[in-house]
C-alpha cells in the first residue's frame, strides 16, 4: 500500500502566534520561556493536524524560530566570530537572534531568496573555525514529535551539499567543507536512530539546479559515506522545486533508501521516470500536489499521473505527498470569511493539501471507486474564468512601441536634472516608513467600523504631514509619503485591481517574523480606478521638494501572488503591467515627476535551470517596460531590487531602462557593486548604505566609508544615497537617527569628493 507523507508545515501558527511571541521577546516585553511555550504549541497543533488528516510520515525539526538554514548553521557551530559564541556550546536564543537581525556593531548574516520562492534564508558563513556539533536540536525535535505522533515522526534536516553550496566565504573547497561536515551528519544519524527514528528526510534541493559533474560526483561520495554509517535511519533524499535533469542517473544510483521527486513544477521528472525507470530497492517520494499554489488539485488528472507512476514503481514503494514543504502556503482556507464558498471551495491551503494527499493515496491503493464522490465533487469545483474583454483587446493590440521609451537615457537624464535640480549624492528612502502600533491600530479600527473612511483618511493625511515635515527637517532631497495607508506592497494594489482576491488569514512566512498575505489572481487583471494618485498628489502639495510616486512592479506583484494556472505567467504579468501603465500616466498628469516602480522579486522568478532564464527574463523585463516606458522623458523612473545576485542578470537590469535603481548592498560587503562595474551600467544607482533589517543605528562615519568605497567603484555622477530597503519593519527611534546620519554622510561627500 502507498503511504502518505508531508515534507514540512507552516511554522508561524494559524494566527501568527510565533510572530507575536518572538517580536515580544526581541522588544524585551517577554522572556525566552514564553517564546518556547508558544513554539511548542505551534508544533503540537501542526502534528495534530497532520495526524488527523491521515499523514503516515509527519515531518519534525521543520519548525524554526527564524530560518532552517540558520538553525543548521547553529547546529554545526558555524557562528561567525563577531558574535562571541563559545565553540561547541548550544547557541542561545539571544545569539541566534543577533545572527538573524544584527545588533549594535554586529552585522547580521546575509539574507537572500530560497531558490525561486519568496522565502528568505540566512546564508551560512564558512570563514571561521571548522564545524562542531553544538546542540541536539533535531534529536530533541524528534523526541518531542514521537511523544505525540509515535512512529509517524520523520526528522527533516538540510543536506550537507545544499548547506555548503548555498553558503559563502568558503575558505576551503566545497568538497573539503562537505567532508568536514560528514562525520557530524553521520553522528547525528546514529543519534536519531538511537532515539527510534526509522526514516530521516535529508533535503537536497540544490540537485534541481545546474550542477557540474564534479558536484554530482561529490554527492556520490558524500552519500556513500553517510549510507555507510552504522545503525542509522533509512534516508529519504528529498528534492523539490524542479527536476533532476542531467543528474538523474547519479541520484538514482545513490545508496539511499528513498528519493523524493517533484512531479508538479516541470514534466521532466515524470518523463525521465517513464523512460529510465526507478530503482527497485528504493521508495519513491511522489510530490504530486502543489506545495506552492493554492488552486485545488485536479484529482482525476493527478490520480492518472499517480497511476502511471505506479506502473513503474510498486505501490508499496510510493509515498504520496506535496511537491515541496507546505510552509509556502497559508494554513487553512476555511479561516476565510470574506468570500463565499463558491470561491473558497476551489482553493487549497496547507490543511486542504493534506486532505488531497490522503484522498489521492486512497484512490491509488483502493481504486477510483473508493473516492468516486471526491472525484465528482472535485470536478464540479474546477471552474473556468470569464475573460474581461477590454483587457483582452488591449493585450491583442500591444506592439513593440509599447515597450520602448521615447528617448535614450542620456537625453532623459539631462531633462530630469533640469526639472529636479538635485545635488550630487541625492538622498532618498525606498518608500515605506514604520508601520507603528498606532498605524496598525487605526487600520484595525477602520476595518471594524469604529471609525469612518473619512476619519481614517484625515488621520493618514496628518501622518503624511508629520512625515514630510520631518524629512524636510533632516534634509532628504527626494521625499516619500510613507505608505501608512498600505498593509503590504503587493496586497495594497491587488485590493484595488480587478482579477484579484485578498485574504484575511492567508499569512505565509517571508523571513523570520515577517509574514505576508499573497493575493490570489482569479481572473483577468485590470485597474478600474486610479490607485495612488490622490494620496501622492496630496503629499506632493505639502512640500516644494520632489515627491516620489510609489508603485509595485508587475513582476513582483506576479511573483508575490498566487497566480491563476490557466494562462501563461507572462500573459498575466503583462495584464498587470498595463494596469500600472495607466497609473503612471495618471501620476504624471497629477504633476508627479519621480515615480518608483519596485521590482524586488524580479530575480527570484528565475527558473532554476539556466537554459530557461532567457525566456523568463525576456517577458519579465518587457512587463516592467510595459508599465514604465509610457512615461515622459522628464519623468524619472526609479526601481528597487533587494537581496539579489545581480551579476548573472545585469543585462536584463540594463534592459529594464529605469533611470535610477536602488539595491541592497549593506549585507553583501559591496559584492553586488561588481556586477554594475564589470558590465558597464550607465544609469544611476543607489547602493543601500545601511541594513534596515537590523535594529543597529549606523554611524555617519560608517556610511561615509561605504559611500567612498561605492563612489570609487561606480563614480560620483551616478550615485544616489538611500537605505537598502523600506523602513516599514523598523521603529521611529531606529529610523530617524539612521536617516540623519545618512544625510550627514551625503553632505560630507559633497564637501570632500570632487563633483
Average pLDDT, stretch 198-227?
98
For residues 302 and 310, is the Cβ–Cβ distance under 8 A? Answer: no
- Integer Cα distance of 221 and 243 in angstroms: 21
CA pseudo-torsion sign 313, 319, 321, 326: negative
pLDDT tens, 331-344? 999 999 999 888 89
Of the chain, the percentage scoring pLDDT greater than 90 comes to 85
Mean pLDDT of 178-185: 98
**Is residue 378 over pLDDT 60?**
yes
Q: Please give the pLDDT value at position 672.
A: 63
221 pLDDT tier (thresholds 50, 70, 90): very high
Asked if the model's pLDDT at residue 330 lies above 80, the reply is yes
Nearest CA to 246 among 215, 199, 219, 210?
Answer: 210
pLDDT top residue among 729 and 670: 729
Rounded to 5 degrees, φ, ψ at 503 are -115, 165
Cα 254 to Cα 218, 223, 250, 261: the distances in Å are 11, 7, 7, 14
Taking the alpha carbons of 456, 462, 464, 466 in that order, is the dihedral positive or negative? negative
Quick one: pLDDT band at residue 372, thresholds 50, 70, 90?
very high
Long-range contact pairs involving 699-704 (C-beta distance under 8 Å, separation at least 24) = 699/741, 700/741, 700/744, 700/745, 700/748, 701/745, 703/741, 703/742, 703/745, 704/745, 704/748, 704/749
CA-closest candidate to residue 324, choices 266, 264, 272, 251: 264
Distance CA 587, CA 600 (A): 22
Structure-model confidence comparison of residues 537 and 436, the more confident one? 537
What pLDDT, in 10s, does the model give residues 498-519? 999 999 999 999 999 999 999 9
Split at pLDDT 50, 70, 90, the class of 650 is confident
Return the C-alpha cell found at 64.
524554526
Q: In sequence order, what are the residues at sequence separation of 6 or more whose Cβ sits closer than 8 angstroms to the Cβ of residue 581?
A: 626, 627, 628, 630
Exposure on the CB side of residue 566, measured as CA atoms within 13 A: 14
Is the model's pLDDT at 708 over the cut of 80?
A: yes
Q: Residue 54: pLDDT band by 50, 70, 90 thresholds?
A: very high
Give the residue with greater pLDDT, 74 vs 643.
74
pLDDT of residue 693: 78
* Residue of 4, 105, 63 whose CA lies nearest to 697: 105
Q: Identify which has the larger pLDDT, 11 or 669.
A: 11
What are the C-alpha distances in Å from 405 to residues 546, 575, 684, 685? 22, 19, 17, 19
Rounded mean pLDDT of 317-337? 97
Q: Please determine, for residue 666, whether its predicted confidence score (pLDDT) is greater than 90.
A: no
Do residues 565 and 346 make contact, with C-beta atoms less than 8 angstroms apart?
no
From 85, 120, 693, 741, the catalytic residue = 693
How high is the pLDDT of residue 125? Answer: 96
More confident residue, 652 or 667: 652
Other beta carbons within 10 Å of 65? 21
**132 pLDDT exceeds 60?**
yes
What's this model's pTM, rounded to 2 decimal places?
A: 0.90
Q: What is the Cβ-side half-sphere exposure of residue 482, based on CA atoms within 13 angstroms? A: 24
pLDDT band at 444 (very low <50, low <70, confident <90, very high): confident
- What CATH number labels 409-436+476-487+532-557+567-752? 3.20.20.210
- pLDDT over 70 at 668, yes or no: no
Residue 131: predicted pLDDT: 96
Q: In the predicted model, what is the mean pLDDT of residues 620-647? A: 90
pLDDT above 90 (res 103): no
Q: How confident is the prediction for the chain on average, in pLDDT?
A: 94
pLDDT digit string, tens, across residues 567-592: 999 999 999 999 999 999 999 999 99
Lowest mean pLDDT among 286-300, 576-590, 686-700: 686-700
Residues 6+ away with beta carbon under 8 Å from 125: 73, 78, 80, 109, 167, 168, 169
Known catalytic membership, residue 693 = yes
Amino acid at each position: 500500500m502507498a503511504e502518505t507523507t508531508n515534507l514540512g508545515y507552516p511554522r508561524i501558527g494559524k494566527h501568527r502566534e510565533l510572530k507575536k511571541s518572538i517580536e515580544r521577546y526581541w522588544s524585551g516585553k517577554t522572556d525566552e520561556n514564553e517564546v518556547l511555550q508558544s513554539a511548542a504549541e505551534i508544533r503540537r497543533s501542526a502534528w495534530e493536524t497532520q495526524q488527523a488528516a491521515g499523514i503516515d510520515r509527519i515531518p519534525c525539526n521543520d519548525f524554526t524560530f527564524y530560518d532552517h538554514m540558520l538553525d543548521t548553521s547553529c547546529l554545526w557551530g558555524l557562528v561567525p566570530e563577531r558574535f562571541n559564541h563559545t565553540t561547541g556550546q548550544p547557541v542561545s536564543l539571544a545569539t541566534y537572534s543577533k545572527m538573524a537581525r544584527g545588533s549594535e556593531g554586529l552585522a547580521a548574516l546575509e539574507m537572500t531568496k530560497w531558490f525561486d520562492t519568496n522565502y528568505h534564508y540566512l546564508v551560512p558563513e564558512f570563514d571561521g573555525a571548522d564545524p562542531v556539533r553544538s546542540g541536539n536540536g533535531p534529536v530533541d525535535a524528534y523526541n518531542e514529535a514521537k511523544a505525540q505522533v509515535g512512529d509517524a515522526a520523520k526528522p527533516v534536516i538540510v543536506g550537507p551539499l545544499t548547506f555548503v553550496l548555498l553558503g559563502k566565504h568558503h575558505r576551503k573547497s566545497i568538497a573539503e567543507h562537505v567532508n568536514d561536515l560528514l562525520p557530524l551528519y553521520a553522528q547525528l544519524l546514529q543519534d536519531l536512530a538511537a532515539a527510534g527514528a526509522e526514516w530521516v528526510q535529508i533535503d537536497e534541493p540544490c540537485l534541481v539546479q545546474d550542477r557540474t559533474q564534479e558536484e554530482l560526483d561529490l554527492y556520490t561520495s558524500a552519500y556513500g559515506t553517510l549510507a555507510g554509517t552504522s545503525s542509522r535511519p533509512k534516508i529519504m533524499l528529498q528534492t523539490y522545486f524542479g527536476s533532476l535533469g542531467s543528474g538523474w542517473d547519479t541520484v538514482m544510483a545513490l545508496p539511499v533508501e528513498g528519493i523524493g521527486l517533484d512531479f508538479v513544477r516541470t514534466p521532466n521528472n515524470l518523463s525521465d521516470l517513464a523512460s529510465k525507470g526507478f530503482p527497485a530497492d528504493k521508495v519513491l517520494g511522489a510530490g504530486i500536489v502543489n506545495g506552492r499554489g493554492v488552486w485545488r488539485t485536479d484529482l482525476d488528472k493527478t490520480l492518472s499521473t499517480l497511476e502511471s507512476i505506479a506502473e513503474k514503481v510498486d505501490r508499496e514503494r510510493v509515498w504520496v505527498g506535496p511537491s515541496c514543504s507546505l510552509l509556502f502556503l497559508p494554513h487553512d482556507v476555511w479561516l476565510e470569511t470574506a468570500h463565499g464558498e463558491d470561491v473558497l471551495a476551489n482553493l487549497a491551503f496547507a490543511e486542504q493539501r493534506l486532505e488531497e494527499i490522503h484522498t489521492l493515496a486512497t484512490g491509488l491503493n483502493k481504486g477510483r471507486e473508493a473516492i468516486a464522490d471526491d472525484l465528482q465533487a472535485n470536478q464540479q469545483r474546477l471552474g473556468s474564468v470569464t475573460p474581461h474583454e477590454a483587457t483582452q483587446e488591449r493585450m491583442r493590440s500591444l506592439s513593440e512601441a509599447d515597450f520602448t521609451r521615447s528617448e535614450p537615457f542620456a537625453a532623459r537624464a539631462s531633462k530630469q536634472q533640469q526639472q529636479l535640480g538635485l545635488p550630487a549624492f541625492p538622498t532618498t528612502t525606498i518608500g515605506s516608513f514604520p508601520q507603528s502600533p498606532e498605524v496598525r491600530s487605526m487600520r484595525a479600527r477602520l476595518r471594524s467600523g469604529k471609525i469612518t473612511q473619512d476619519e481614517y483618511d484625515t488621520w493618514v493625511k496628518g501622518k503624511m504631514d508629520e512625515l514630510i515635515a520631518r524629512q524636510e527637517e533632516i534634509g532628504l532631497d527626494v521625499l516619500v509619503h510613507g505608505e501608512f495607508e498600505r498593509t503590504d506592497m503587493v496586497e495594497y494594489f491587488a485590493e484595488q485591481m480587478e482579477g484579484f482576491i485578498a485574504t484575511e488569514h492567508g499569512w505565509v512566512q517571508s523571513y523570520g517574523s515577517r509574514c505576508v498575505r499573497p493575493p490570489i489572481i482569479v481572473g483577468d487583471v485590470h485597474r478600474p480606478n486610479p490607485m495612488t494618485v490622490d494620496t501622492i498628489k496630496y503629499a506632493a502639495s505639502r512640500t516644494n521638494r520632489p515627491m516620489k510616486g510609489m508603485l509595485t512592479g508587475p513582476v513582483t506583484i506576479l511573483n508575490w501572488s498566487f497566480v491563476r494556472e490557466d494562462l501563461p505567467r507572462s500573459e498575466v504579468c503583462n495584464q498587470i503591467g498595463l494596469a500600472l501603465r495607466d497609473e503612471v500616466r495618471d501620476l504624471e498628469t497629477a504633476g508627479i515627476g519621480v515615480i518608483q516602480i519596485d521590482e524586488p522579486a524580479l530575480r527570484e522568478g528565475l527558473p532554476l535551470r539556466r537554459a530557461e532564464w532567457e525566456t523568463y527574463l525576456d517577458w519579465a523585463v518587457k512587463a516592467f517596460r510595459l508599465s514604465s516606458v509610457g512615461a515622459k522623458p522628464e519623468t524619472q523612473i526609479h526601481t528597487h531590487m533587494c537581496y539579489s545576485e545581480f551579476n548573472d542578470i545585469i543585462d536584463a537590469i540594463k534592459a529594464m531602462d529605469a533611470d535610477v535603481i536602488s539595491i541592497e548592498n549593506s549585507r553583501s560587503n559591496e559584492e553586488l557593486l561588481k556586477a554594475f562595474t564589470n558590465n558597464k551600467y550607465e544609469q544611476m544607482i543607489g547602493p543601500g548604505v545601511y541594513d534596515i533589517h537590523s535594529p543597529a543605528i549606523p554611524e555617519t562615519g560608517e556610511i561615509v566609508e561605504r559611500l567612498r568605497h561605492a563612489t570609487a567603484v561606480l563614480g560620483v555622477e551616478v550615485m544616489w544615497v538611500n537605505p537598502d530597503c523600506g523602513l516599514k519593519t523598523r521603529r521611529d527611534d531606529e529610523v530617524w537617527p539612521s536617516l540623519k546620519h545618512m544625510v550627514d554622510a551625503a553632505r560630507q561627500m559633497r564637501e570632500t569628493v570632487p563633483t
